[in-house]
Amino acid sequence: MDEQRDSRGARSHDKKHGDPIAFAENLPALVPSDAWIARTREFGIELEAREIELLGKYLAALMDVNTRTNLTAIRDAEQAWDRHIFDALTLVGVLQELPESDGRRKVIDVGSGGGLPGVPLAIVMGDVDFVLLDATKKKTDFIARCAQWLGLENLSVINGRAEGVGQDKAHRGMYDGAMARAVGKVAMIAELTVPMVKVGGLVVLTKGEQAEEELKQAKKALHMLHTHHVGTVETPTGRVVVLEKQRTTPRMYPRRDGEPKRSPLGVSDTGRR
């Protein structure tokens, strides 16, 4: 596991030709439409000019790098403001409800890809520390560069698999919250996220129409992980499923690499009980 603590500590940028995740330092920020700003306001999110600028710079880098290497399926900036930035910001309300912590609250984004939902949330929630985890090095390198470029001191990056990180003493039971978008169904992603949160901590999943069906399918898994469904919030871009960890996770979870996906807990016949 290659931990790139605060992106300031990351290796210096490799500017040589062909670096797939390189982007120009002077890339101009994309600008959201007035209608987009109005929609976020209606939803209860009041963004400062500085935050809009940082969100626009992040999106500019994501869209630019995405023309050379695949970070996200969305290639249209207009669409990206909704489906990436606004969608990430729909988690703010739930994350504000995280139980009080001794120090700063800590949230891990599991399978963050090009930095979603973690990067936009780190931009607008300066009082929370975000750790963005992904198995693909190219993606975590990209996020680390963005964090450094944008000066986000509350964001750090881990390149690794959630199965290993969830069994690592430095991370197991250490987070006030975990979140994930588009990494897998509830039964699978619960096994990858729940072990990392504290008892009483929340797992916040960005979902769509299929939320209820996946929750039904995950009933046994949630029981095995001592976790319960506290609610689902309807948002303009989908549904946010909120789980709460009730007791310490049994040692055996998460299982070895690939197992949570291959044989989701309580779902497939070969799943361990």
Q: Which residue ranges make up the site for ligand SAH (CB under 6 A)?
A: 72, 111-114, 116, 133-136, 139, 161-163, 181-183, 192
Whether the Cβ atoms of residue 192 and residue 109 lie closer than 8 Å to each other? no
Nearer to ligand SAH, 201 or 238 (CB): 238
- Quote the least distance from Cβ 17 to ligand SAH, whole Å: 25
258 φ/ψ sector (left φ>0, alpha ψ -120 to 50, else beta):
left
Nearer to ligand SAH, 112 or 156 (CB): 112
Edge-first strand listing for the sheet containing 227-235: 2-4, 155-159, 128-134, 105-110, 175-181, 197-207, 238-245, 227-235
Tokens, residue 190: 């619960």
- Quote the least distance from Cβ 191 to ligand SAH, whole Å: 10
Please state, in angstroms and rounded to a whole number, the distance separating the CA atoms of residues 110 and 117.
Answer: 10
Alpha helix (H) residue ranges in the chain: 34-42, 49-66, 77-80, 87-89, 92-96, 118-124, 137-150, 162-165, 186-193, 211-217, 219-224, 259-262
Nearer to ligand SAH, 101 or 182 (CB): 182
Nearer to ligand SAH, 2 or 16 (CB): 2
Nearer to ligand SAH, 25 or 257 (CB): 257
- Quote the least distance from Cβ 72 to ligand SAH, whole Å: 6
- Quote the least distance from Cβ 166 to ligand SAH, whole Å: 9
- Quote the least distance from Cβ 154 to ligand SAH, whole Å: 18
Reference 200, options 174, 232, 176; nearest CA is 176
Tokens, residue 146: 């963005």
- Quote the least distance from Cβ 158 to ligand SAH, whole Å: 9
Tokens, residue 96: 């504000």
Please state, in angstroms and rounded to a whole number, the distance separating the CA atoms of residues 136 and 264.
Answer: 22
Whether the Cβ atoms of residue 256 and residue 264 lie closer than 8 Å to each other? no
Nearer to ligand SAH, 40 or 193 (CB): 193
